[in-house]
Amino acid sequence: MNAKNMAGHVIRQLHQMSTQVYASHMQAAGFDLTPVQFAAMDALSAQPGLDQATIAASIACDRATTGGVIDRLEQKGLVARVVNEKDRRARVVTLTDQGRDLFQQALPIVAGLQVDILQALSPDERSDFLRLAKKAVQGAQDGDALRT
Amino acid sequence: MNAKNMAGHVIRQLHQMSTQVYASHMQAAGFDLTPVQFAAMDALSAQPGLDQATIAASIACDRATTGGVIDRLEQKGLVARVVNEKDRRARVVTLTDQGRDLFQQALPIVAGLQVDILQALSPDERSDFLRLAKKAVQGAQDGDALRT
DNA sequence: GCATTTTAGTATCTATACTTACCAATTTTG
DNA sequence: CAAAATTGGTAAGTATAGATACTAAAATGC
């Protein structure tokens, strides 16, 4: 059994390829937004005022990583962070006007590049792959692989 | 179209899950070896004396990343690095005796945990998933997604 | 055979991503 | 209600992962 054929190795390469496609498309479209930064903005667009821990759960990162992501979004002026008066440990995060605008512009680009990530697969294969991938992720969260 | 259903996001989660499963199994078995470090050792086990650029191509990392990986393996005493006298730019990397031993011990653990990464899928689904994933990676390398 | 280009490796910078440890605030418990 | 446990966020440390820029060495072109 060669390491190159192991599931973990193939998944890692898939991930690298995916971020490459994302980066090249987004750079070509003039956006300075990483995949995780976009995911955080997507979560905030759907539910404004989430705290960082809830964002972390939504984008599947831990609290420390999410803190850094929000830091960078705040530095770019795309989100605002305010201490929650009801629970002074938590910070309420919202998109700024600029953040909302940028997200709306980026959304069609990000949605459009998804097909290019799996460009080598036919439409049928793509939907098969996505179904299996989602099932694998879902099953792991229900099971014991991702214990937070 | 929710970001959570996009291919890129699902693939990122797959990757996180995969590294989690790897880390927990390897830690339980008493190994201090990351997935990429293992992949590098696998490449060196199959072809001793590779230079770093060839290792980089083999494990699908760039030269800078691979340099760091080899640094850490060298610090642990698992690989040795010598300047190639034929081409003084290149460094010939080989597994040490200790590295070879450790790799042989780790190999069955790493091979065994691959099934747990896709634990939510049936055997048929697993092989379908791996076939599609490999095709997607392969197609991207032939195409224009991963241009080195 | 010398200039140009390419290649191998390193260094630096940024961005996930996780761990552990810590502080502060809130909840739970006895 | 006070002690204990939990939770939200940050900080420090380590490991990919890539971009860019740099040095040194080798290959190529003319």
pLDDT in tens, A13-55: 999 999 999 999 999 999 999 999 999 999 999 999 999 999 9
Nucleic strand C under 7 Å from the C-beta of A4 = no
**Minimal Cα–Cα distance from A65 to chain B, Å?**
13
Interface confidence, given as ipTM, is 0.88
Q: What are phi and psi of B79, to 5 degrees?
A: -135, 160
Which of A83-96 are b and which e, b meaning 16 or more Cβ less than 10 Å from the residue's Cβ? Answer: eeeeeeebbbbbbe
Q: Are the Cβ atoms of A8 and B2 closer than 8 angstroms? A: no
Torsion of CA A43, A48, A52, A56, to 10 degrees: -20
Distance B5 CA to C27 C1' (A): 35
The one-letter code for the residue type at B17 is M
Q: What are phi and psi of A17, to 5 degrees?
A: -60, -45
pLDDT at B142: 61
Length of chain B: 148
pLDDT at B138: 85
pLDDT at A69: 94
Tens-digit pLDDT string for chain B (148 aa): 677 889 999 999 999 999 999 999 999 999 999 999 999 999 999 999 999 999 999 998 999 999 999 999 999 999 999 999 999 999 999 999 999 999 999 999 999 999 999 999 999 999 999 999 999 998 876 654 333 3
Nearest to B17 by CA among B138, B121, B125, B108: B121
A140 vs A6: CA distance, rounded Å: 18
A137 vs A145: CA distance, rounded Å: 9
- Is 3.40.50.11740 the CATH classification of the domain at B3-117? no
B118 vs B130: CA distance, rounded Å: 10
Question: Three-state SS for A95?
Answer: strand
Examine the pLDDT at A147 and tell me if it is beyond 60.
Answer: no
B51 and B90 Cβ atoms separated by less than 8 Å? yes
**Minimal Cα–Cα distance from A133 to chain B, Å?**
7
**Minimal Cα–Cα distance from B36 to chain A, Å?**
8
Rg for chain A (alpha carbons), in Å? 17
Q: Are the Cβ atoms of A136 and B130 closer than 8 angstroms? A: no
Name residues whose C-beta falls within 8 Å of residue B146's C-beta, 6 or more positions apart in sequence: A16, A17, A20, B140
pLDDT at A39: 95
List chain B residues with CB under 8 Å of A7.
18, 114, 117-118, 126, 130, 133
Q: What are phi and psi of B61, to 5 degrees?
A: -130, 165
pLDDT at B44: 95
What are the domain boundaries of chain B? 3-117
Q: Which chain A residues 50-79 have CB under 7 A to strand C?
A: 59-62, 64-65, 68-69, 72
List chain A residues with CB under 8 Å of B140.
17, 20-21, 119-120
Task: Give per-residue pLDDT as tens, A72-122.
Answer: 999 999 999 999 999 999 999 999 999 999 999 999 999 999 999 999 999
* A6 burial type by CB count under 10 A (0-12 exposed, 13-18 middle, 19+ buried): buried
Mutation for A interface: B129, B131, B135, B142, most A CBs within 10 A: B129
According to DSSP, residue A90 is labeled: -
